[in-house]
Protein backbone atom coordinates (compact mmCIF):
# COMPACT_ATOMS: atom_id res chain seq x y z
CA UNK A 1 0.00 0.00 0.00
CA UNK A 2 1.40 3.40 -0.99
CA UNK A 3 2.48 5.82 1.73
CA UNK A 4 2.20 8.81 -0.63
CA UNK A 5 -0.92 10.91 -1.09
CA UNK A 6 -2.04 14.02 -2.98
CA UNK A 7 -4.59 16.46 -1.58
CA UNK A 8 -6.45 19.22 -3.39
CA UNK A 9 -8.05 22.24 -1.73
CA UNK A 10 -10.39 24.11 -4.08
CA UNK A 11 -11.05 27.49 -2.51
CA UNK A 12 -12.76 30.72 -3.52
CA UNK A 13 -9.50 32.55 -4.28
CA UNK A 14 -6.96 29.78 -4.85
CA UNK A 15 -6.39 26.13 -5.55
CA UNK A 16 -3.75 24.40 -3.45
CA UNK A 17 -2.18 21.01 -4.09
CA UNK A 18 -0.02 19.14 -1.57
CA UNK A 19 1.95 15.96 -2.27
CA UNK A 20 2.98 14.27 0.96
CA UNK A 21 4.21 10.97 2.33
CA UNK A 22 4.75 9.14 5.59
CA UNK A 23 8.27 7.78 5.90
CA UNK A 24 9.11 5.92 9.11
CA UNK A 25 6.11 7.57 10.79
CA UNK A 26 7.41 11.00 9.75
CA UNK A 27 5.08 13.19 7.70
CA UNK A 28 6.96 14.89 4.85
CA UNK A 29 5.88 17.45 2.26
CA UNK A 30 7.25 16.51 -1.16
CA UNK A 31 5.55 19.12 -3.33
CA UNK A 32 3.23 22.12 -3.09
CA UNK A 33 1.41 24.09 -5.76
CA UNK A 34 -0.94 27.08 -5.57
CA UNK A 35 -2.84 28.88 -8.27
CA UNK A 36 -5.33 31.73 -8.36
CA UNK A 37 -8.85 30.44 -8.94
CA UNK A 38 -11.66 32.51 -10.45
CA UNK A 39 -14.10 29.66 -10.99
CA UNK A 40 -15.33 29.38 -7.40
CA UNK A 41 -17.72 31.76 -5.65
CA UNK A 42 -18.40 31.45 -1.94
CA UNK A 43 -17.05 27.89 -1.95
CA UNK A 44 -19.19 26.69 -4.88
CA UNK A 45 -17.77 25.90 -8.33
CA UNK A 46 -19.49 28.20 -10.83
CA UNK A 47 -17.02 27.93 -13.74
CA UNK A 48 -15.63 24.45 -14.32
CA UNK A 49 -13.19 25.48 -17.06
CA UNK A 50 -11.54 28.18 -14.92
CA UNK A 51 -11.37 25.79 -11.99
CA UNK A 52 -9.79 23.11 -14.18
CA UNK A 53 -7.09 25.55 -15.33
CA UNK A 54 -6.28 26.45 -11.74
CA UNK A 55 -6.10 22.79 -10.72
CA UNK A 56 -3.78 21.95 -13.63
CA UNK A 57 -1.50 24.88 -12.81
CA UNK A 58 -1.24 23.95 -9.13
CA UNK A 59 -0.66 20.28 -9.96
CA UNK A 60 2.11 21.23 -12.40
CA UNK A 61 3.88 23.22 -9.68
CA UNK A 62 3.67 20.33 -7.21
CA UNK A 63 4.96 17.91 -9.84
CA UNK A 64 7.95 20.12 -10.66
CA UNK A 65 8.82 20.55 -6.98
CA UNK A 66 8.57 16.83 -6.18
CA UNK A 67 9.77 15.49 -9.55
CA UNK A 68 6.83 13.07 -9.46
CA UNK A 69 3.78 12.63 -11.66
CA UNK A 70 0.40 13.23 -10.04
CA UNK A 71 -2.40 11.02 -11.32
CA UNK A 72 -5.01 11.09 -8.54
CA UNK A 73 -5.98 13.15 -5.53
CA UNK A 74 -8.18 13.55 -2.49
CA UNK A 75 -10.31 16.69 -2.67
CA UNK A 76 -12.20 18.81 -0.15
CA UNK A 77 -15.85 19.69 0.21
CA UNK A 78 -16.47 22.79 2.39
CA UNK A 79 -17.97 22.05 5.77
CA UNK A 80 -20.55 24.81 5.32
CA UNK A 81 -22.13 22.99 2.38
CA UNK A 82 -22.76 19.80 4.33
CA UNK A 83 -25.32 19.11 7.03
CA UNK A 84 -24.95 16.82 10.05
CA UNK A 85 -27.78 14.51 11.10
CA UNK A 86 -27.74 12.38 14.22
CA UNK A 87 -28.60 8.71 13.75
CA UNK A 88 -28.19 5.40 15.53
CA UNK A 89 -27.46 1.83 14.47
CA UNK A 90 -28.40 -1.22 16.55
CA UNK A 91 -27.59 -4.91 16.01
CA UNK A 92 -27.36 -8.16 17.96
CA UNK A 93 -23.81 -9.48 18.32
CA UNK A 94 -23.53 -12.46 16.01
CA UNK A 95 -20.82 -14.71 17.47
CA UNK A 96 -21.65 -17.70 19.65
CA UNK A 97 -19.26 -16.45 22.33
CA UNK A 98 -20.72 -12.91 21.98
CA UNK A 99 -17.30 -11.38 21.33
CA UNK A 100 -17.56 -8.31 19.11
CA UNK A 101 -15.57 -8.62 15.89
CA UNK A 102 -14.97 -6.29 12.96
CA UNK A 103 -17.91 -7.81 11.07
CA UNK A 104 -20.24 -6.68 13.88
CA UNK A 105 -18.83 -3.15 13.62
CA UNK A 106 -19.40 -3.17 9.87
CA UNK A 107 -23.00 -4.31 10.33
CA UNK A 108 -23.86 -1.72 12.99
CA UNK A 109 -22.37 1.08 10.85
CA UNK A 110 -24.36 -0.22 7.90
CA UNK A 111 -27.49 -0.04 10.05
CA UNK A 112 -26.65 3.56 10.96
CA UNK A 113 -26.59 4.43 7.26
CA UNK A 114 -30.32 3.84 6.96
CA UNK A 115 -31.62 7.38 6.79
CA UNK A 116 -34.07 9.15 4.50
CA UNK A 117 -32.71 12.06 2.46
CA UNK A 118 -34.23 13.95 -0.47
CA UNK A 119 -33.28 12.93 -3.99
CA UNK A 120 -31.04 15.97 -4.49
CA UNK A 121 -28.83 15.16 -1.48
CA UNK A 122 -26.49 12.30 -0.61
CA UNK A 123 -24.92 10.83 2.50
CA UNK A 124 -21.21 11.40 1.92
CA UNK A 125 -19.71 10.44 5.27
CA UNK A 126 -20.42 8.81 8.61
CA UNK A 127 -18.79 10.23 11.74
CA UNK A 128 -18.70 7.76 14.61
CA UNK A 129 -19.39 9.40 17.98
CA UNK A 130 -19.56 6.44 20.33
CA UNK A 131 -20.29 2.73 20.52
CA UNK A 132 -22.61 1.33 23.19
CA UNK A 133 -22.31 -2.27 24.38
CA UNK A 134 -25.25 -3.57 26.44
CA UNK A 135 -26.01 -0.05 27.63
CA UNK A 136 -22.43 0.98 28.43
CA UNK A 137 -21.44 3.95 26.27
CA UNK A 138 -18.46 6.20 25.46
CA UNK A 139 -16.68 3.29 23.79
CA UNK A 140 -14.35 4.25 20.92
CA UNK A 141 -13.44 0.74 19.74
CA UNK A 142 -15.63 -2.22 20.82
CA UNK A 143 -13.55 -4.92 19.07
CA UNK A 144 -12.76 -7.73 21.50
CA UNK A 145 -15.42 -6.78 24.03
CA UNK A 146 -18.25 -9.17 24.88
CA UNK A 147 -21.89 -8.25 24.73
CA UNK A 148 -25.31 -9.09 23.33
CA UNK A 149 -26.37 -5.72 21.90
CA UNK A 150 -24.11 -3.34 19.95
CA UNK A 151 -25.16 0.23 19.19
CA UNK A 152 -23.42 3.16 17.52
CA UNK A 153 -24.25 6.86 17.62
CA UNK A 154 -23.20 8.66 14.46
CA UNK A 155 -23.47 11.93 12.62
CA UNK A 156 -24.37 11.50 8.98
CA UNK A 157 -22.77 14.05 6.65
CA UNK A 158 -25.20 15.00 3.89
CA UNK A 159 -24.36 17.23 0.92
CA UNK A 160 -25.94 18.41 -2.31
CA UNK A 161 -25.51 16.06 -5.27
CA UNK A 162 -24.88 19.06 -7.53
CA UNK A 163 -22.03 20.33 -5.35
CA UNK A 164 -20.41 16.90 -5.27
CA UNK A 165 -20.84 16.32 -9.01
CA UNK A 166 -19.26 19.66 -9.91
CA UNK A 167 -16.25 18.87 -7.73
CA UNK A 168 -15.90 15.47 -9.37
CA UNK A 169 -16.33 16.90 -12.86
CA UNK A 170 -13.68 19.59 -12.31
CA UNK A 171 -11.12 17.14 -10.96
CA UNK A 172 -11.74 14.58 -13.71
CA UNK A 173 -11.60 17.22 -16.44
CA UNK A 174 -8.20 18.34 -15.14
CA UNK A 175 -6.92 14.85 -15.88
CA UNK A 176 -6.91 13.43 -12.35
CA UNK A 177 -8.69 10.53 -10.74
CA UNK A 178 -10.44 10.98 -7.41
CA UNK A 179 -9.21 8.94 -4.46
CA UNK A 180 -11.95 10.35 -2.25
CA UNK A 181 -13.70 13.49 -1.04
CA UNK A 182 -12.98 14.67 2.51
CA UNK A 183 -15.18 16.99 4.54
CA UNK A 184 -12.89 19.99 4.92
CA UNK A 185 -13.08 20.55 8.72
CA UNK A 186 -12.25 16.89 9.34
CA UNK A 187 -9.04 17.36 7.36
CA UNK A 188 -8.18 20.84 8.65
CA UNK A 189 -8.61 19.72 12.26
CA UNK A 190 -5.83 17.15 11.79
CA UNK A 191 -3.16 19.89 11.59
CA UNK A 192 -4.73 22.67 13.66
CA UNK A 193 -6.36 20.98 16.66
CA UNK A 194 -5.05 18.63 19.33
CA UNK A 195 -6.93 15.54 20.46
CA UNK A 196 -7.43 17.17 23.87
CA UNK A 197 -9.03 20.24 22.30
CA UNK A 198 -11.43 18.13 20.26
CA UNK A 199 -12.31 16.14 23.37
CA UNK A 200 -12.92 19.17 25.60
CA UNK A 201 -14.83 21.21 23.03
CA UNK A 202 -13.37 23.63 20.50
CA UNK A 203 -14.52 25.78 17.59
CA UNK A 204 -12.42 25.64 14.44
CA UNK A 205 -12.91 28.81 12.40
CA UNK A 206 -11.50 28.69 8.87
CA UNK A 207 -11.55 32.21 7.40
CA UNK A 208 -11.04 32.17 3.66
CA UNK A 209 -11.39 34.77 0.94
CA UNK A 210 -15.17 34.79 0.51
CA UNK A 211 -16.44 32.47 3.24
CA UNK A 212 -15.84 31.53 6.85
CA UNK A 213 -16.42 27.94 7.93
CA UNK A 214 -17.32 27.44 11.60
CA UNK A 215 -16.97 23.88 12.91
CA UNK A 216 -17.34 22.66 16.48
CA UNK A 217 -15.75 19.52 17.90
CA UNK A 218 -16.79 17.94 21.19
CA UNK A 219 -15.93 14.61 22.79
CA UNK A 220 -13.59 13.96 19.88
CA UNK A 221 -16.23 14.32 17.14
CA UNK A 222 -17.45 16.98 14.74
CA UNK A 223 -20.84 18.08 16.05
CA UNK A 224 -21.59 21.26 14.10
CA UNK A 225 -20.54 22.97 10.89
CA UNK A 226 -21.80 26.09 9.18
CA UNK A 227 -20.62 28.63 6.62
CA UNK A 228 -21.07 32.39 6.75
CA UNK A 229 -20.63 34.26 3.41
CA UNK A 230 -17.91 36.71 4.43
CA UNK A 231 -14.11 36.46 4.46
CA UNK A 232 -10.81 38.25 4.02
CA UNK A 233 -11.53 39.12 0.41
CA UNK A 234 -14.28 41.45 1.55
CA UNK A 235 -11.68 43.52 3.39
CA UNK A 236 -9.78 43.95 0.13
CA UNK A 237 -12.97 44.96 -1.70
CA UNK A 238 -13.82 47.50 1.01
CA UNK A 239 -10.38 49.12 0.75
CA UNK A 240 -10.66 49.27 -3.03
CA UNK A 241 -14.09 50.90 -2.87
CA UNK A 242 -13.34 53.44 -0.14
CA UNK A 243 -9.86 54.43 -1.32
CA UNK A 244 -10.73 54.17 -5.02
CA UNK A 245 -7.73 52.04 -5.94
CA UNK A 246 -7.41 48.78 -7.85
CA UNK A 247 -8.18 45.42 -6.27
CA UNK A 248 -4.58 44.27 -6.62
CA UNK A 249 -3.24 47.45 -4.96
CA UNK A 250 -5.82 47.02 -2.19
CA UNK A 251 -4.66 43.45 -1.58
CA UNK A 252 -1.01 44.52 -1.44
CA UNK A 253 -1.92 47.40 0.88
CA UNK A 254 -3.75 45.02 3.20
CA UNK A 255 -0.85 42.56 3.30
CA UNK A 256 1.89 45.17 3.74
CA UNK A 257 0.25 47.75 6.01
CA UNK A 258 -2.90 46.04 7.25
CA UNK A 259 -3.86 46.34 10.92
CA UNK A 260 -6.86 45.12 12.84
CA UNK A 261 -7.48 48.33 14.77
CA UNK A 262 -7.00 52.00 13.90
CA UNK A 263 -5.21 52.64 17.22
CA UNK A 264 -2.11 51.06 15.66
CA UNK A 265 -1.84 53.77 12.97
CA UNK A 266 -1.08 57.49 13.16
CA UNK A 267 -3.69 59.75 11.49
CA UNK A 268 -1.02 61.41 9.33
CA UNK A 269 0.43 58.17 7.89
CA UNK A 270 0.02 57.88 4.11
CA UNK A 271 1.39 55.82 1.22
CA UNK A 272 1.54 56.51 -2.52
CA UNK A 273 -0.52 54.19 -4.72
CA UNK A 274 -1.10 54.22 -8.48
CA UNK A 275 -4.33 55.98 -9.31
CA UNK A 276 -7.07 54.14 -11.18
CA UNK A 277 -6.53 54.19 -14.90
CA UNK A 278 -2.77 54.54 -14.45
CA UNK A 279 -2.97 58.34 -14.33
CA UNK A 280 -0.21 59.15 -11.88
CA UNK A 281 -0.16 58.41 -8.18
CA UNK A 282 -2.34 59.31 -5.21
CA UNK A 283 -1.80 59.47 -1.48
CA UNK A 284 -3.79 56.90 0.44
CA UNK A 285 -4.39 57.44 4.15
CA UNK A 286 -3.29 54.39 6.12
CA UNK A 287 -5.50 55.59 8.97
CA UNK A 288 -8.51 55.45 6.64
CA UNK A 289 -7.45 51.97 5.52
CA UNK A 290 -7.17 50.87 9.14
CA UNK A 291 -10.69 52.11 9.89
CA UNK A 292 -12.06 50.15 6.93
CA UNK A 293 -10.25 47.01 8.03
CA UNK A 294 -11.28 47.42 11.66
CA UNK A 295 -14.96 47.65 10.69
CA UNK A 296 -14.93 44.56 8.46
CA UNK A 297 -12.84 42.46 10.88
CA UNK A 298 -15.21 43.36 13.71
CA UNK A 299 -18.14 42.28 11.54
CA UNK A 300 -16.53 38.91 10.74
CA UNK A 301 -15.73 38.23 14.39
CA UNK A 302 -19.23 39.33 15.45
CA UNK A 303 -20.85 36.96 12.96
CA UNK A 304 -18.71 34.09 14.24
CA UNK A 305 -19.71 34.78 17.83
CA UNK A 306 -23.35 35.27 16.88
CA UNK A 307 -23.43 31.94 15.04
CA UNK A 308 -22.01 30.08 18.04
CA UNK A 309 -24.38 31.81 20.47
CA UNK A 310 -27.47 31.11 18.34
CA UNK A 311 -26.58 27.42 18.35
CA UNK A 312 -25.96 27.51 22.15
CA UNK A 313 -22.41 26.30 21.57
CA UNK A 314 -20.54 28.99 23.49
CA UNK A 315 -20.65 27.15 26.81
CA UNK A 316 -19.28 23.93 25.30
CA UNK A 317 -16.01 25.49 24.07
CA UNK A 318 -13.80 24.60 27.02
CA UNK A 319 -10.74 24.62 24.75
CA UNK A 320 -11.72 27.90 23.12
CA UNK A 321 -11.55 28.95 19.49
CA UNK A 322 -8.85 28.17 16.92
CA UNK A 323 -8.72 30.42 13.85
CA UNK A 324 -7.06 29.30 10.62
CA UNK A 325 -7.21 30.07 6.90
CA UNK A 326 -5.58 32.90 4.96
CA UNK A 327 -8.38 35.46 5.35
CA UNK A 328 -7.01 37.27 8.43
CA UNK A 329 -3.50 35.87 8.46
CA UNK A 330 -0.59 38.26 9.16
CA UNK A 331 -2.81 41.24 10.00
CA UNK A 332 -1.10 43.17 12.78
CA UNK A 333 -2.90 42.99 16.14
CA UNK A 334 -5.44 40.38 15.02
CA UNK A 335 -4.73 38.07 17.96
CA UNK A 336 -5.62 40.74 20.53
CA UNK A 337 -8.70 41.95 18.62
CA UNK A 338 -10.01 38.42 18.16
CA UNK A 339 -9.51 37.64 21.83
CA UNK A 340 -11.47 40.75 22.81
CA UNK A 341 -14.52 39.49 20.86
CA UNK A 342 -14.81 36.14 22.63
CA UNK A 343 -15.13 35.00 26.23
CA UNK A 344 -12.93 31.95 25.63
CA UNK A 345 -9.24 31.48 24.72
CA UNK A 346 -8.41 32.25 21.08
CA UNK A 347 -5.36 31.14 19.13
CA UNK A 348 -4.32 30.84 15.48
CA UNK A 349 -3.59 27.39 14.09
CA UNK A 350 -1.64 26.21 11.05
CA UNK A 351 0.34 23.15 9.89
CA UNK A 352 3.67 22.68 11.64
CA UNK A 353 5.49 21.25 8.63
CA UNK A 354 8.31 22.70 6.53
CA UNK A 355 6.96 24.22 3.33
CA UNK A 356 3.35 24.59 4.48
CA UNK A 357 3.67 26.41 7.81
CA UNK A 358 0.91 28.89 7.01
CA UNK A 359 -2.86 28.98 7.67
CA UNK A 360 -3.49 29.12 3.90
CA UNK A 361 -2.28 25.49 3.71
CA UNK A 362 -4.34 24.19 6.64
CA UNK A 363 -7.04 22.53 4.53
CA UNK A 364 -4.79 20.99 1.87
CA UNK A 365 -2.22 19.72 4.38
CA UNK A 366 -4.91 18.47 6.75
CA UNK A 367 -6.62 16.48 4.01
CA UNK A 368 -3.27 14.83 3.18
CA UNK A 369 -2.69 13.90 6.83
CA UNK A 370 -6.26 12.63 7.13
CA UNK A 371 -5.94 10.50 4.00
CA UNK A 372 -2.55 9.07 5.02
CA UNK A 373 -3.87 8.23 8.47
CA UNK A 374 -6.64 6.20 6.88
CA UNK A 375 -4.18 4.73 4.36
CA UNK A 376 -6.55 5.02 1.39
CA UNK A 377 -5.01 5.22 -2.10
CA UNK A 378 -6.42 5.09 -5.58
CA UNK A 379 -4.90 1.64 -6.06
CA UNK A 380 -6.60 0.33 -2.94
CA UNK A 381 -9.94 1.85 -3.95
CA UNK A 382 -9.70 0.43 -7.45
CA UNK A 383 -9.25 -3.04 -6.00
CA UNK A 384 -12.22 -2.52 -3.70
CA UNK A 385 -14.48 -1.32 -6.49
CA UNK A 386 -13.49 -4.20 -8.80
CA UNK A 387 -14.77 -6.79 -6.33
CA UNK A 388 -18.36 -7.33 -5.34
CA UNK A 389 -17.22 -8.05 -1.81
CA UNK A 390 -13.86 -6.45 -1.09
CA UNK A 391 -11.56 -7.75 1.62
CA UNK A 392 -11.83 -5.85 4.88
CA UNK A 393 -9.37 -3.03 5.47
CA UNK A 394 -8.90 -2.00 9.11
CA UNK A 395 -6.49 0.80 9.99
CA UNK A 396 -6.22 2.93 13.14
CA UNK A 397 -9.61 1.72 14.39
CA UNK A 398 -11.47 2.71 11.18
CA UNK A 399 -13.53 0.05 9.43
CA UNK A 400 -14.88 -0.22 5.91
CA UNK A 401 -18.60 -0.79 5.53
CA UNK A 402 -20.05 -3.55 3.36
CA UNK A 403 -19.31 -3.01 -0.31
CA UNK A 404 -22.24 -2.81 -2.69
CA UNK A 405 -22.25 -4.33 -6.14
CA UNK A 406 -19.90 -2.64 -8.58
CA UNK A 407 -21.49 0.27 -10.42
CA UNK A 408 -20.35 2.18 -13.46
CA UNK A 409 -19.17 5.78 -13.30
CA UNK A 410 -16.88 7.60 -10.90
CA UNK A 411 -19.79 9.31 -9.11
CA UNK A 412 -21.25 6.04 -7.89
CA UNK A 413 -17.83 4.71 -6.93
CA UNK A 414 -17.02 7.82 -4.93
CA UNK A 415 -20.46 7.74 -3.28
CA UNK A 416 -19.65 4.25 -2.04
CA UNK A 417 -16.26 5.43 -0.81
CA UNK A 418 -17.80 8.30 1.17
CA UNK A 419 -19.74 5.94 3.37
CA UNK A 420 -16.72 3.66 3.79
CA UNK A 421 -14.23 6.33 4.78
CA UNK A 422 -14.78 5.99 8.50
Reported as a single tens digit per residue, the pLDDT across 93-140 is 988 899 999 999 999 999 999 998 888 898 887 888 899 999 999 898
Residue 2: what pLDDT?
59
Residue 399: what pLDDT?
34
Per-residue pLDDT reduced to its tens digit, 111-121: 999 998 888 89
Residue 393: what pLDDT?
28
Residue 402 pLDDT level (bands cut at 50, 70, 90) = very low
Mean of pLDDT values over 199-220: 94
Residue 412 pLDDT level (bands cut at 50, 70, 90) = very low
pTM above 0.85, yes or no: no
Lowest-pLDDT range of 17-26, 134-143, 280-289, 374-383: 374-383
413 pLDDT higher than 50: no
Residue 180: what pLDDT?
87
Average pLDDT, the chain: 85
List of domains in the chain: 4-79+165-191+351-377 (3.30.420.40), 81-162 (3.30.1490.110), 227-348 (3.30.420.40)
The better pLDDT of the pair 80, 150 is held by 150
Per-residue pLDDT reduced to its tens digit, 196-209: 999 999 999 999 99
3-state secondary structure the chain: CCCEEEEEEECCCEEEEEEEEEECCEEEEEEEEEEECCCEECCEECCHHHHHHHHHHHHHHHHHHHCCCCCEEEEEECHHHEEEEEEEEEEECCCCCCECCHHHHHHHHHHHCCCCCCCCEEEEEEEEEEEEECCEEEECCCCCCECCEEEEEEEEEEEEHHHHHHHHHHHHHCCCEEEEEEEHHHHHHHHHCCHHHHHHCEEEEEECCCCEEEEEEECCEEEEEEEECCCHHHHHHHHHHHHCCCHHHHHHHHHHHCECCHHHCCCCCEEEEECHHHCCEEEEEHHHHHHHHHHHHHHHHHHHHHHHHHCCCHHHCCCCEEEECCCCCCCECHHHHHHHHCCCCEEECCCCCCCCCCHHHHHHHHHHHHHHHHCCCHHHHHHHHHCCCCCCCEECCEECCCCCCCCCCHHHHHHHHHHHCC
Mean of pLDDT values over 226-248: 93
Residue 278 pLDDT level (bands cut at 50, 70, 90) = low
Amino acid sequence: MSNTVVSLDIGSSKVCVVLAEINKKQFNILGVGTSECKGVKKGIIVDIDSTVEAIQDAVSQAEQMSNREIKSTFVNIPGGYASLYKNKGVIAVSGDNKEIISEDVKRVLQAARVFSVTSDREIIDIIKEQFVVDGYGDIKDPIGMRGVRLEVDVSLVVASCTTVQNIIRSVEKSGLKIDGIVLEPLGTSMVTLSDDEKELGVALVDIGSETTDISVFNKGSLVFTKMIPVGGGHITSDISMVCKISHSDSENLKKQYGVSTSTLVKPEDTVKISALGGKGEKNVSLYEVSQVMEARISEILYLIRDTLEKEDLGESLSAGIVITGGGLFNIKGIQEVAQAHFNVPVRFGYPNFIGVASPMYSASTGIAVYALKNKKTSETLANEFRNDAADEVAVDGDYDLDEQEEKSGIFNRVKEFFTDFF
